[in-house]
Amino acid sequence: MVNIKGRDFLSIGDLNGNELSGVLDAACAFKRSLQEGDTVRSLSGRVVALIFQKPSTRTRVSFEAAIYHLGGGSITMNASELQLGRGETIGDTGRVLSRYVQAIALRTFGHNEVEELAEAADVPVVNALTDLEHPCQVLADLMTVREHKGVLAGLHLAYVGDGNNVANSLALGCALAGMRFSAGCPEGYEPDAEIIARARGLAGGDRIRIVHDAREAVSGAQVVYTDVWTSMGQKDDHRRKRDLEPFRLDGDLLAAADPEAIAMHCLPAHRGEEISGEVMDGPRSVIWDQAENRMHAQAALLDLLAGG
């Protein structure tokens, strides 16, 4: 079993390949134990604070359910209701919360905010999504790919659409897992350049590709992934939609991938925009498994970071 006790989880790249594989093993073990009604109660007597600066359905509910199944307590807060909204610093908030709780998850805008919280807090801090990364999502995504394909190493995952937080974490996660990653996006919508450079350093340059054609990106891919064209906090304008239109994941695009390719989306989706309803509800979609696996992956993560 991997030992990541007491650490923060701000980026998927905070884990090495071995640790990532260990967290995924633990997530599968948790899923089995929940099905058998026999989960470890490793958060018994422990409390986790969940702070949201942006809306959430899956992250909030999957964290709360995971903590419940591990025997712990959760306190979910909208950041605007805290003194944070009146100017108390993130650092001071972290120092105080560390006196009450055994882990903190934060969803916010600037990635520097989770870094500041982690710097000040004495307890593990988990990134529940920033503008730069969504590492908890990618744990669940890799778990889902592994469930459906049996392995990760050697697979090709193609991401089409806006090179956003999810794309960034996928690039790093694929590199750590020994997978190939292609992003197909319009010019000006590429994933973060520093993250891509880091992923290339981990995987080898030719295994992490950015192309400006959706069909070229998905050609031969065993996994095809997309996400919204306008992320939380971004301006929803006509230009984005016009630029991203050729990158919609529909039946035609999926047909350009491997014949057995699976289709993924982190949700929430805008049906008919970045993904067609036909693909979402079709036989190749593993989207609902992805959503379920958020809970199993985060249970494993919290157990490993903060469990007793």
Residue 195 vs 228, nearer CB to ligand NVA: 228
Site membership for ligand CP, residue 130 (CB under 6 A): no
Please give the residues from 48 up to 77 whose contact with ligand CP meets the rule CB under 6 A: 56-59
Contact by Cβ (8 Å): 263, 224: yes
Which does residue 298 touch among ligand NVA, ligand CP, none (CB within 5 to 8 A, set by kind)? none
Would you say 98 or 108 has its CB closer to ligand CP? 108
Interface with ligand CP by CB under 6 A: which range of 14-22, 28-36, 84-92, 261-269? 261-269
d(CA 48, CA 51): 10
Q: Which residues are catalytic?
A: 107, 134, 137, 227, 266, 294
Q: Which does 228 bind (CB under 5 to 8 A by kind): ligand CP, ligand NVA, none?
A: ligand NVA
Helices 58-69 and 287-306: crossing angle in degrees, nearest 10, is 50
Which residue's C-beta sits nearest to ligand CP?
59
CA dist 132 and 50 (Å) reads 19
What does the CA dihedral 237, 243, 247, 249 come to, rounded to 10 degrees?
Answer: 20
Q: Which residues of 32-41 are buried (b: 16+ CB within 10 A; e: fewer)?
A: eebeeeebbe
For the chain, what is the largest distance between any 2 Cα atoms, rounded to a whole number of angstroms? Answer: 54
Minimum distance from residue 58 beta carbon to ligand NVA (Å): 7
57 binds, among ligand CP, ligand NVA, none (CB under 5 to 8 A by kind): ligand CP
Report the interface residues with ligand NVA, using CB under 6 A.
Answer: 129, 164-166, 227-228, 231-232, 266
Residues 6+ apart with CB under 8 A from 70: 39, 40, 41, 42, 43, 44, 299, 302, 303, 307
74 vs 169, which CB is nearer to ligand NVA? 169
